[in-house]
Structure 1
Amino acid sequence: MNEAHILLIDDDRDLAELLGEYLDAEGFRLSAAHSGEDGIQELARGNYDLVLLDVMMPGIDGFETLKQIRNTSVVPVLMLTAKGEETDRVLGLELGADDYLAKPYSHRELLARIKALLRRIELDRAQKESDTGTLECNGVTLNFDTYEVECEGQTLPMTTSEFKVLRVLMTRAGKAVPKEDLYREVLGREIMAYDRSIDMHVSNVRRKIQTVTEDPKIQTIRGIGYLFVEAS
């Protein structure tokens, strides 16, 4: 992806300036908004490939900003959370963030996460070109043309990451899929110690499916990963 356009929503103006210089040297273009309200408006005006979203901001915080973004956009969102605040990371993923990074972070670490998410976008585009039609298993249907998910005939709202979790699990229905595979295929990066991103995406999918049916679709295979249950 050439000169990906990234939107930083963070009230720290000094950080925005330094990060802009660093990412520019790495071949990216960064625009900044310094409040949640301004960030939402800027995202609606521009054509952005990725959003970096800080949790702690005056006015509406990062969580409320993310809620409003997800009402209209599936743009990948990387949440920037306080170090050690697991509740922030969990809530961000529950609200539709694709990944998170705890502050303080190094520019190199942030760059690695950005590249991983952008690689995922490229893979998504290639996958969409090769995947057409639908995939159905055990009452769940994925529509590759519209990126919609139906369960027992009802359409369920899913983020891009949640759709990809289902795609990976359903294409291997009846087989345990290691978490390492899910990290590579869904988030475009390797699993890290104490990282619960995929667990939260799977939990979100389960919760949404359970609004329609109590029939368990995804099983946890302890010590390995997850399995999508084939219809009996």
Structure 2
Amino acid sequence: MKILIAEDEIRLSNLLRLYLERESYIVDIVANGNDGLEKSLQENYDLIILDVFMPGKDGFTVLEEIRKVKNTPVILLTAQSGESDHKRGFSLGANAFISKPFSPSTVVTEVNQILNNRQESN
């Protein structure tokens, strides 16, 4: 299965890639919202991880654009965990919202859960 990470903190994206590749996922990384949107629309990912606040388009905007054409599961990551951000993310179609700081294993658990649920429902 293939995952896209759109996150401007390179160390964090590389750490997440390491954890996800241990679970046998194929992982692509981009460092801004513009590239995240472009890749997510050009390629078929099984799941997308979006940072809410990153250069170019923010995660909310990228999610909104993705939802116009695809139903790929999306996990939002943010350093600001206000309730209004959570509500906005879920109203735009996010499958999960994880607040920073977090353990990479928390992200892997969420990814596995979303993808397992998706496979069971197909």
TM-score band by shorter chain is over 0.9
The residue number in structure 1 matching 2:107 is 110
The residue number in structure 2 matching 1:133 is none
Asked if the contact 1:84–1:102 (Cα under 8 Å) also holds between the matched residues in 2, the reply is yes
The residue number in structure 2 matching 1:29 is 26
Deviation at 1:24, TM superposition (A): 1.1
Asked if the contact 2:19–2:108 (Cα under 8 Å) also holds between the matched residues in 1, the reply is no
- Structure 1 gap ranges (5+): 126-232
The residue number in structure 1 matching 2:62 is 65
Asked if the contact 2:7–2:13 (Cα under 8 Å) also holds between the matched residues in 1, the reply is yes
Which letter does structure 1 place at the counterpart of 2:94? A
- Deviation track 1:52-88 (CA, whole Å, cap 9, x = no partner) reads 0110112211111111111111000111122532221
Deviation at 1:18, TM superposition (A): 1.7
Which letter does structure 2 place at the counterpart of 1:33? V
Partner residue of 2:75 out of 78, 100, 111: 78
Residue 55 (1) aligns with residue 43 (2): no
Asked if the contact 1:83–1:104 (Cα under 8 Å) also holds between the matched residues in 2, the reply is no
- Structure 2 gap ranges (5+): none
Ranked by relative contact order (alpha carbons within 8 Å, sequence separation 6 or more), the top structure is 2
Runs of 4+ in 1 over 3 A off after TM superposition: none
The residue number in structure 2 matching 1:101 is 98
Which letter does structure 2 place at the counterpart of 1:16? S
3-state DSSP of counterpart to 1:72: coil
Deviation at 1:16, TM superposition (A): 1.4
Give the total of aligned pairs: 122
Using the alignment, how far apart are the partners of 1:94 and 1:47 within structure 2?
23
- Larger gyration radius, structure 1 or structure 2: 1
RMSD value over aligned CA atoms?
A: 1.2
User: Under a length normalisation based on structure 2, what TM-score does the superposition of the two structures give?
Assistant: 0.93
Q: Percent identity?
A: 35
User: Under a length normalisation based on structure 1, what TM-score does the superposition of the two structures give?
Assistant: 0.50
Residue 123 (1) aligns with residue 117 (2): no
